[in-house]
Structure 1
């Protein structure tokens, strides 16, 4: 049983059906009917006029978003263990033309206003020093923690006061939303978010992400930057088809609930082995090397997360019954 990442989960059958239906001849690039109808569909979801720019990877969505919010000579405040810092191979710096990532500490990979204020205080004000232009949050964070709407709103208000833009890396946005039983608007534009990298690949899609811009005036620049970066796919209707299929019947929410529920079963079995509170479908657990080897020998796969620790990620296709054998093996250690 595989708990390496929700990236390894299969594609949902509804996505395969949508891809097959998109075989019908239509316009190329993003001129097809499916792509052209995304803005209206996501505007209804977010209760706000938005621009949707599809992309095939979360990294490209993050890089494109931050290139719109920060100039080459600016800085982006983010957690020191954020995905954009550790796992995107300098994509943000490349896409922005040289902007610096101004990293910050924070328990559970979470930021707050005090952390951001302290980091800004360390920056010089003169021409010799990097001026921050944006803040990037990850929800769910790299340690499986969730930002509540009031926490995002506090950071959003701080950003407005400081003249900063706010980006949210929402690779697991659906998992955060169902955990909080919140509306999409509550965790985004109502809380001051300017751009959201809305992840679908981890949640059942094949290779589709949506950059949501809450300022439609950014639409033309975003689409030109996507083309210049080589991410405007000639058969874009297959990207759009996946996004529509994920929204149909709230499939994206059902999948996230299933993943979170499976994660909760594992968290209960782990008990006091948990390193961080479990808010969604990702948990960090203390295993000795010998214990980890015993679990792997039984067929359970997971990533190490430092000495004596492991990261477990449940996926949309794993029911509570599916993960019960792993839970039992953990409890039996």
Structure 2
């Protein structure tokens, strides 16, 4: 091995990752890797007919305390798009918050998979749908052949800004959907993070509140390539099954996807991971709140924290190797995201760096003669 390679390896060992851009940058839980290894030898039936996939189906039925149909897929985008396609005809519309992931960050996948259904953007504080606006839009232009027909509703739990729908809010949305005879979908990319915040059961956060389909996210919280569409409506099973195959999401070696989900669910790994990620976000918010010129936009209810920082502080943190999204929303607004792999040292490093960088900023702004 040459001297250059040795130096690069040495530098890599000494540098701790400083990423807060997303929970997608984390690796996978050891339990998930162990589950993959355990199923790597031998033979198993393909296309989800293996015993491990059936075990996961039973696990999720126990988790939700309900008979469910489970469709493992490789991405959250696929889960969302397939779920919405099963609920929404091409001439229909999906009602969601304007900042929902399906509207902002799916590159038109819901429209593509539904063969052209319209996404209707609704307002609401803290990333949550305004109930009055929802009620109006569920009945708007119904029966008018010239208008896309309200056909489904989608909520994001936790939301894109890190807030969490309370149980009574989900139930209120579910009631509106039932009165308009519209199915309700939950984008649960950060399902576990919201669940541990509410300290409720998965059943209470979903079907008991009126949810029909859930995109059950796992990739952001411990797996490396599996999410699931979980359906509480048996009448949608055949539609989703054929759509999954047509979308190229029916894996021939499904047991490797099932193994990830099994390792994730077994012994409460998914809940412990979420508790830790949320705790790191709370600790980061608490620490940054004491830093001059840092304004916390909203206390994190899950594992996402938005702050407003001076440009000089943003630049300084970036120069020190910290990574986070900034200026995507408006000038000076940054987003920090923690994960199951974020350590207390990671959080302390960021708080310490922000403190050291902000002290000169605050001193420079102090009036002459001030102490």
Q: What TM-score do you get using the length of structure 1 for normalisation? A: 0.97
1:327 counterpart (331, 336, 351): 351
In the TM superposition, residue 14 of structure 1 has moved relative to its aligned partner by: 1.2
Task: Give the match for residue 314 of structure 1.
Answer: 338
Sort the Cα spacing of 1:50 and 1:124 in 2 relative to 1 into closer, same or farther, 3 A: closer
Q: Residue 183 and residue 224 in structure 1: after superposition, are their counterparts in 2 closer, same or farther (change >3 A)?
A: same
- What does residue 256 of structure 1 align with? 274
Matched, 1:277 2:299: yes
Aligned to 1:73: 91
Tell me the SS of whatever aligns to 2:203. coil
State which drifts further: 275-284 or 320-329. 320-329
Q: In 2, Cα distance between the equivalents of 1:277 and 1:264?
A: 8
| Alignment CA distance shift 1:14-1:266 (3 Å) | same
| Aligned match of 1:19 | 36
What's the offset of the Cα at 1:113? Answer: 1.8
- Between the aligned partners of 1:6 and 1:183, the Cα distance in structure 2 is 23
After the TM superposition, list the runs of 4 or more consecutive aligned residues in structure 1 that deviate by more than 6 angstroms: none
Following the alignment from structure 1 to structure 2, what is the Cα–Cα distance between the partners of residues 185 and 199? 16
8 Å Cα contact 1:197-1:210 kept in structure 2: yes
1:288 aligns with 2:310: yes
Deviations along 1:286-317, whole A, 9 cap, x unmatched? 01221101111222110113311111000101
Displacement of 1:170 in angstroms is 0.3
- The partner residue of 1:297 within 310, 319, 334 is 319
Cα distance in 1 for partners of 2:45, 2:139 equals 51
Q: Write the mapping of 1:1-333 to structure 2, written as runs, cut at 5 A.
A: 1-24=18-41, 25-120=43-138, 123=141, 125-271=143-289, 273-304=295-326, 305=328, 306-332=330-356, 333=358
SS of equivalent residue, structure 1 residue 60: helix
Matched positions, count? 333
- Aligned counterparts of 1:322 and 1:286: Cα–Cα separation in 2: 20
> What's the CA shift for 1:11?
1.1
Is the CA contact (8 Å cut-off) linking 2:212 and 2:233 kept in structure 1?
yes
Larger radius of gyration: 2
Contact map agreement 1:112 1:151 (CA 8 A) in 2: no
Per-residue deviation, 1:226: 0.3
Q: Identify the residue that residue 364 of structure 2 maps to in structure 1.
A: none
Distance, in Å, in 1 between the alignment partners of 2:136 and 2:345 is: 46
Question: Structure 1: 5+ residue runs without aligned partners?
Answer: none
**How far apart are the structure 2 equivalents of 1:331 and 1:57?**
38
Q: Distance in 2 between matches of 1:330 and 1:204?
A: 28
- Asked if 2 retains the 8 angstrom alpha-carbon contact of 1:71 and 1:96, the reply is yes
Cα distance in 2 between the residues matched to 1:143 and 1:81? 9
Distance (whole Å) between structure 1 residues aligned to residue 115 and residue 39 of structure 2: 36
**Contact conserved, 1:81 with 1:109, CA < 8 A, in 2?**
yes
8 Å contact kept, 1:144–1:280: yes
- The answer (yes or no) to whether the contact 1:274–1:285 under 8 Å persists in 2 is yes
Structure 2 unaligned blocks of 5 or more:
1-17, 359-371
CA distance in 2, matches of 1:198, 1:189: 13
